[in-house]
Chains A and B, each alone.
Chain A
């Protein structure tokens, strides 16, 4: 399940969405969240859903792959729907059977809210699937750059983020190795009482932490030796390039918001 879950992951590929500047994508997602909250009736939700499907098609990510990879989150969406169905007691009664009563308002609310949730998850997943972590970091750093004046350590934050991302696979591999080593010695973290399981996790965490600190120390030395001394006077290997298509993306979002404002109930 861990391997199949795609929320927050990057999938190398190529399409218009891949080629967009990370800044335009980040700004888009940020503003899109507000746009989603403009929807309040069937027409606006339909527009929103159509737009989302349009974006997914544009990104060339296969819809079955997307939905398959988001299964755990889809459960949450369904759960939200059910909660609203059974717990809201407003409007006409639509359906009654023994102790289950479903009200019109519950159905509406349930569909709207779970749809909103679904759309947000789909959009952010499209963003992360089509933007490499390093471009996201670059985008965040550039966008936050003005905040440097407020003494926010923007460069340091971006550097931390990129190093964290860089070391995730390394530490995952290591966890796997330690887990196997402990299993070979008869430790068992998948059965027993909670207390026993917690106890079994400790011999896994301690070596992991020790090695992570060792790595951090080595990395700091390697960085310093290669001349790293903070963001000052540093140039960049990657250049972000704002293209016409990036402006178009934001214009498109503006148009969508205008249409939604018009049809809003």
Chain B
């Protein structure tokens, strides 16, 4: 599969005061391929948001390079690249620019000089894609968190980007809002072949990804499929990460001497093994 975004030996440090630097990202390299769903996990302060900012050119690496569609990201192609990337952040309120849902979705289109007629069509389409068609005239404070994030996704996708970057987009939502958003992303991916790079703490969401990157203290500590990552068990916890509930429970059960055999990524798998093993006795 074709590469759509890659980081090549990227390092970045924030200058907090005169000559005082905080190394936020250190020598990170990875490649994201067309249509992949990649999760980036890691404890607070491990450099995840900094990575996102480097990918969209809000920050530029001190060393190394960020390549989007095989071209290095520079000041010159910054705005073109931004029109090809959609980004959704954590706080649903703070990224809602428009006075109403449709104005917010149109914001990126307006900025990119899309014609009036085109805009009307694209806003309608984007809203129907995220299942918010009936809400075009609603004001943000009359929407739930999940709905606001769906509008944000519509706004991010209005320019038809190939890549969607989510920086903890579900972390401020209630469980219902969270599953709304995750469900939407799953659907969008299957209908449009969107590439998704999702920074998240939600381990159930991580399980849906094709690959997981684990960040620790600014470095890429591990990468691989969700199963291979969670198999590392205790090593993950050293990186400040929790295991999914089912996996943790199965570990604890094993610890107390229960003879379990499989990996239990989901509760269902665990329940299945528990009741069948009991049945066999």
A residues engaging B (CB < 8 A)?
132-134, 162-163, 165-166, 169-170, 173, 214-215, 218-219, 221-229, 233-239
Contacts and interface: CB of A to CB of B under 8 A. Distances in A.
Interface stretch (B9-17, B36-44, B115-123, B255-263): B115-123
Interface residues of B, number: 39
Nearest to B85: A225
A133 B99 CA distance: 8
B83 A219 contact: no
10 contacts: A134-B99, A134-B100, A162-B99, A166-B140, A224-B58, A225-B85, A226-B111, A237-B106, A237-B110, A237-B123
Nearest to A167: B93
Specify which of A166, A169, A170, A228 lies most central, judged by the most chain B CB atoms within 10 Å of its CB: A166
Nearest to A222: B95
A214 B89 CA distance: 13
B94 A219 contact: yes
A133 B262 CA distance: 60
Contact of A234 (B79, B95, B111, B159): B111
B97 A219 contact: yes
Nearest to B118: A235
A165 B103 CA distance: 14
Interface string B100-138: 101100111111111110011001000000000000000
B125 to A, nearest CB: 14
Main secondary structure of the interface of A (DSSP, over half): helix
B139 A169 contact: yes
A227 B58 contact: no
A236 B103 contact: no
Nearest to B94: A218
A235 B114 contact: yes
A98 B123 CA distance: 72
Interface in B66-101: 79, 82-83, 85, 87, 89, 91, 93-100
A239 B117 CA distance: 10
A21 B82 CA distance: 35
Given A165-B99, A235-B116, A237-B102, A227 B111 contact: yes
Contacts of A169: 139-141
Contact of B119 (A163, A222, A237): A237
B126 to A, nearest CB: 12
B56 interface: yes
A225 B52 CA distance: 11
A233 B106 CA distance: 15
A102 B99 CA distance: 52
